Amino acid sequence: MNAFLIRGGHVVEGDAITRAEVLIHDDRIVAVGEIDPADAAGADVLEADGRLVVPGFVDVHSHAEGAVFDPEVQLALLRQGVTTVIGGQDGVSYAPGDGAHASEYFAAINGPHPRYRGPRVADLLATYDGQIPLQVAYLVPAGTVRHEVMGTADRPATEAERQCMTALVAQGVADGAVGLSTGLDYTPGLYADAEEIAALCHPLAADHLPYVTHMRGGYEDNSQVGIEEVARIGLTAGVPVHISHFHTRADEAARLMDWLAQHGLDASFDAYPYTRGCSILGMSLLPPAVNALPPDEAVTLLHDPVQRQQLREDWFPQVDRNASLGPEWPELITIAHTIARDFDWAHGLTLAQVARRRGTDAVDAALDLLAASRLQVNVVMAVRDQRPVADLGRLIALPGHLGGSDGIFIGAHPHPRARGTFASYLATYVREHAFLDWPAAVQHLSTGPVSRFRLGARGRVLPGHLADLALIDAEAVRDTATYDDPTALAVGIDDVFVAGRPVLAGGQLTGDRPGGGLRAAPATPQGDGPAAADIHSPHQGEQ
């Protein structure tokens, strides 16, 4: 029997922080409090030395489902206390299908998957079992489903096509997916209307799984439009809704979340504690029809002088009118990742700096970079109006908020959010500015996500629950990743357990791999208690 005693810590559970010991047998917590020495006989002892003992965090918006096999990525997540990531975001990922769509269109976001060959969500989840130290849950990506049935067709789906897509979603849910995602600024998701999306959501309803969306039509200045569509979809399908990277001003976000509640929606959202965003360059600077082309065709178009001139005259004036970027976009977009060797020097530079070094203007610099990279470019995007900590803090403190990094691990100069989000929540928004206290932070970063995505008996430090636990030095925890040094690791979380086994010890990976694909727990009248939660990876004997 695998047994551990965590001694001398302060357990964060519910609304309280209590000095208590935690006894683990195999993958479960079996006792919390003052442990009888006889019960702990033979257990390995970990001295907490006053650290907080919390349930492992769930990153509800991650793009790590391909990168998580990399030990450096594992270390970056565990050093933030993250024990579960939820992939399949923004409507584009590997399954269902052979992964080709994601490998081309979203290559600069998710990167390649080293093990998945298709065709089902079950096959994707199985690639993680016994291979990684943490857990991966998965949303069925509606854009990938649409691509499987309709390719990049820019038209409404027929009834037969809807039925085929809905069947793929139902299969994904049966395989253990924890919801459905859309990315309504990405192709082909932007071609789907609310009625089509609601039809795809119907298989979620029986298990009360959420519809998760990168909304249509903008966020900061146009959220009402997206929220109204979210409401139509959620109410039609009878499912809860979750809004991805909801970075509207705090007062407006509060109003819109109240509006959803008043209309009968069970709604939540994620928001990371950074002002700058990150996405693929093509989505920001190219028409959707060009983004939808196979890479070879897109590259040919971008090399064509006539097509380039047409983009310059007809399309880039629209880029100049973008509400978030505006005509200053060359100064606001920083190159995070390109596969073009000839542009290796451009990592960490703005498009304006790239253009100056090449002696061109920003339009030519951007189009040349996209062509040389076969569109595989991701960028960090600043905004003209930098938001203060106070506004982000009030946003993160809203009751509907759940912790999500939107973390992208692809690139030589990535956004720091992948390695810093959860440590930033704790350092800046809990310890330094007290927008959340420690129990509230656990609710936002662990307990709430577990409940929303039906992850079973996690998210609590209670007997009978799975022992996904992190030990936090409350005075030392902080993010060190910055826009200038984006790959620096968080500090202050040095010991982490997954399924009762130490996966991080002394700040380093132990080499143990108790993680795997996480399958959604079925809905039960009793809720998400331990009896309903035996959903850990099959290699651990949990079915």
**Structure confidence by residue, pLDDT tens digits, 103-128:** 788 999 999 999 999 999 999 999 99
Report, as an integer, the average pLDDT of 61-81. 98
pLDDT digits (tens, 9 = 90+) for 345-380: 999 999 999 999 999 999 999 999 999 999 999 999
Share of the chain above pLDDT 70, in %: 95
Report, as an integer, the average pLDDT of 63-73. 98
pTM above 0.85, yes or no: yes
- Give the Cα-Cα-Cα angle 447, 451, 456 (nearest 5 degrees): 95
What DSSP state is assigned to residue 426? I
Look at residue 523 in the predicted model and tell me its pLDDT. 72
Q: Which helix (H) or strand (E) holds 526?
A: none
The DSSP secondary structure of 120-147, one letter per residue, reads: -HHHHHHTTTTTSSSEEEEPEEHHHHHH
Contacts of 348 (CB under 8 A, 6+ apart): 334, 335, 412, 413, 484
Look at residue 156 in the predicted model and tell me its pLDDT. 95
Residue 384 pLDDT level (bands cut at 50, 70, 90): confident
pLDDT digits (tens, 9 = 90+) for 429-474: 999 999 999 999 999 999 999 999 999 999 999 999 999 999 999 9
Let me know: does 468 contact 497? Beta carbons within 8 Å. Answer: yes
- What's the CA gap between 239 and 438, in Å, rounded? 30
Contacts of 128 (CB under 8 A, 6+ apart): 68, 135, 136, 515, 516, 517, 537
Report, as an integer, the average pLDDT of 47-62. 98
- Average pLDDT over the chain reads 93
Domains in the chain (CATH in brackets) are 55-275+387-539 (3.20.20.140), 278-381 (no CATH)
- Classify 307 as helix, strand or coil: helix
Q: Look at the block and give the residue holding tokens 């002892």.
A: 45
User: Is the CA virtual torsion 470, 474, 480, 486 positive or negative?
Assistant: positive
Let me know: does 191 contact 155? Beta carbons within 8 Å. Answer: yes
Contacts of 211 (CB under 8 A, 6+ apart): 179, 180, 182, 197, 201, 204, 230, 233, 234, 237, 239, 240, 241, 242
- Beta strand 180-183 with 211-214: parallel, antiparallel or unpaired? parallel
Instruction: Give me the residues paired with residue 29 across strands.
Output: 24
